[in-house]
Chain A
Amino acid sequence: MAIETGLIALGSGLAIGLSAIAAAVAEKEIGVAAVGAMAEKEELFGKGLILTVIPETLVIFGLVVAILILNLAK
C-alpha cells in the first residue's frame, strides 16, 4: 500500500474520530444537565432528549468529511 493511501486513511480516521470526541464532550455536558432537569420535572424528557442529541450533528459532519477524504484515494 502506498504511503499516500495510508495518509488518506489516517486523515479520514482523524476527521471522524476527533469530531466524535467533540460530540461526546458536548453531549456529556448537556446530558448531565438534562438528567438533572428531568429529575425535577419529568415532562422535560422530550426536550432533554432532543437537546442531548443536538451535538450529534458534529459526528455527521465528521463522517461526511471522512467520506470526502476517502474518495481522494480512488
Chain B
Amino acid sequence: MLKPQEMSSVIITGSKNMQETVIRELHSMKILHIVEHSKNWIADIGMPLENAPRLSEILVRIRALSAALGIRDNKTKLEVKSISEIDSTAKKIAEGLGIYTDELKKIDEFFSKSQALRNELEILKGIDIPLESFANYRNLAYFTGFIKIKDMDSLKKELQKTTQKFMLFESTEGSRAFIALFIDIKNKENANGILQKLNFSGINFSGIQGQKGTAAQNLKKLEQESSRLLKRKDEIGKKIEKLAEEHKSFLIASNEFLGGQLEKAEAPLKFASTPSSFLIKGWIPSNDLDKSIDRLNKAAKNRIFVHFEPAKKQDKVPVKLKNPAYAKPFEFFLDLYSIPSYREIDPTFFIFLTFPIFFGIMLGDVGYGAASLAAFLLLRRKIPKAKNFFNILILASFVTVLFGFLFGEFFGYEFMHPTISREHEMFRLLYLSIAIGVIHVNLGLALGFINELKSHGFMHAVYAKASWIVLELGIALLALTYFRIILISPFIGAAFLGLSILMLLKGEGVKGLIELPSILTNVMSYARLMAIGLSSVILAVIVNEQAGEFFHRGGFFVLIGILILAIGHAINIMLGLLGSFLHSLRLHYVEFFSKFFHGGAKKYQPFGAKDE
C-alpha cells in the first residue's frame, strides 16, 4: 500500500553454453524483469537461439491457419509439447484447407467470368436463333443492336425498298426493340445508312462465341451451373467450419506454446553478449530474491555468476504496484494514466477511498444504484477479462445506493425524507461539494509534500507544496475579514498571500505564479459533484412527471406511461453512469494528481509471464 513492491537489481552472467539453461529456468520462474541491453563498445546484443527462425516460421503458419479458419478464442485446455508434431499437423490442416480454398477460388473465378456472358445472353434471349448464327460469313452481313419500337415499321419499309434478301429478328424490351438483321453483303452499306438514320445503337457480342443452341437455352444452362456452384460454395463453407471446429484447440494451444518457445529463443536479443559469454540485467522483487537466486544457481549447477543489489536512487526501476485485494482493482486507473515512479506515493489506495464516494454523490439514487449494481454483477460474469473494471463499478454502484438513502431518492422519486435534498437544497450541496474539493485538493498537496520531501528535501517541499496551503490560508483569512466573520486587519490575510507567492516563486519559479489561479478553479471544479447530480435528478423527475400524466388518464395510456418510465430511466442511467464515471475520474486525474503525481515508470513485466 502507498509504496510499490521493493525491487533489487540483478545481473546474471555466465559462459554461452549455460545460456539456454538459464533462459529456460528464468522463463519458468516468471520473476525477472529483463532490462534490454543496447549495443555499446563493450558488448553487442546476443543472437537468437538456433531454432528461432524455424519456430517463427511455424508460428506464422499457425497464425495464418487460425486466421483462415476464423479462430478468435484464445483459451483451451489442450496442451501440445512437440514442435515436430505441430509442424506436421499444421501441414496436414493446410493441405486439407488448401483443396477447399482452391475450389472456392475457381468458383469465384467462374462467377466473375460468366457475368459478361450472362449480360449478353439476357439481351439475346428473346431471339429464337442458335448462337452459332453470329459468325463470319462470306456473302452475308449482320447487325445487332437497339432501335425505338416506333421506328420498326419504317425500318422494314426502307429495307424492302433496297432489297428482299434480308431477315429481321426482333424482341421488344420496354420502348426499345432489340433487332438482329441479316442482310446480303452487297447491301451492307445501304442497310447501315438506313439504321443510322433511325438512331440505331449497335452492340457487339464477344462472349457468346463458341456457344451452341439458342440464347434462352444457354441462359438456362448457366443458371443451373450457377446454382450448383453456389450450393457447392455453401458446402465448402460448412466443411471449413467443421475443419475449424476440429482443429481449434490444437491451433490455439500451438500458438500459445510456440509463442512461449519463441520468446525464449529470442531472449538473447535483450542480453549483452560477447562471443563466449552473456550478461543479463534485470529486476526481481526483493522478497523473492534469495529464493530465485538459489533456484537459478541450482539449475545452472553453480556455473553462473549472479550479482544483486538494492535499487539506487538514479535507477529507473520497473514498478510492481502492491495493494491490498480490496484496492487492487483501482490500479486499473493508473494503468490507464501512468504508472507511478518507484520512489513516489502510489495513489491507488486514495482512489479506492474517494472514487466511489464521488461517483455515489453524482449518481446518488437507490434505484439507479441497484439497477447498475445488478447490471455490473451480470457483466462481470459475462466478461471475466474486464473483471477489475467491473469490480470498481460494483463498489461505486453500492456506494451510490448508500448516497441514494442520504438523498432519499428512488428513480428520482422522493421515497423518504432526505437528509439532504439534491433537488431543493442545491446550495447546501454546492457548499458540501466545494468543501470536499478543499479536502481532496489539500490531500493531494499533502501527498505532494511527502513526494517532494523524499525526492528534493524538506525546504523544497515547503516552497513547492506547503506554499499552496499558505495561499489557501491567506485567501480564507481575506474572505473571513471581508465578510466580517472575524475582526482582524485584512493585511494579515494579504501578508499570508504575499508570503505564499514568494515561496512559490522560489519553489517552482515563474511557472508556479502562472499556476496561481488554478487552486481556485481546481476547488470550484468540485462543484460538478453537485451539478452532475442535479442534472441527473431533474431528468429523472421530468421522466416521472411525464409518465405520471399518462397514468392519470388511465386505460391504454398507462402502457405509454410505463414505456416512458422504462426508456427515460434507462437513458438517464446510461448518461448518469457515463457522466459520474468520467467526472469522478477526471477529478482524480486533473485536480488530485496534478498536486503530487509524476508517473512515467515502466510496469514490472517478468520474463515468461503472459500479458493480462
Contacts and interface: CB of A to CB of B under 8 A. Distances in A.
A60 B587 CA distance: 13
B168 to A, nearest CB: 64
Given A45-B336, A47-B337, A53 B586 contact: yes
A14 interface: no
A67 B423 CA distance: 12
B521 interface: yes
B589 to A, nearest CB: 5
Contacts, number: 47
Interface stretch (B49-57, B177-185, B465-473, B525-533): B525-533
Given A46-B336, A64-B430, A67-B426, A56 B527 contact: no
Interface residues of B, number: 22
A54 B589 CA distance: 10
B107 interface: no
A26 interface: no
Nearest to A57: B525
B194 interface: no
A17 B285 CA distance: 54
Contact of B590 (A46, A50, A63): A50
Interface in A21-74: 45-47, 49-50, 53-54, 56-57, 59-61, 63-64, 67, 71
A6 to B, nearest CB: 21
Nearest to B535: A63
A53 B581 CA distance: 12
Interface residues on A, range: 10 to 19
Nearest to B534: A63
Chain B at the A interface: SS class: helix
Nearest to B334: A46
Contacts of A53: 582-583, 586
Contacts of A59: 531
B336 to A, nearest CB: 3
B83 interface: no
B524 A61 contact: yes
A5 B402 CA distance: 38
B346 to A, nearest CB: 17
Nearest to A63: B531
B585 interface: yes
Contact of A57 (B337, B528, B535, B585): B528
A32 B435 CA distance: 35
8 contacts: A45-B336, A50-B586, A50-B590, A57-B524, A57-B528, A60-B524, A64-B524, A67-B427
Interface of B: 333, 335-338, 426-427, 430, 521, 524-525, 527-528, 531, 534-535, 582-583, 585-586, 589-590
Across chains A and B, which 9 residue pairs bring their CB atoms closest together, nearest first?
A: A46-B336, A50-B589, A60-B528, A63-B531, A46-B337, A60-B531, A53-B586, A57-B525, A64-B527
Given A56-B586, A60-B525, A67-B427, 12 more contacts: A45-B336, A46-B589, A50-B337, A50-B585, A50-B586, A50-B589, A56-B528, A57-B525, A60-B528, A61-B524, A61-B527, A63-B535
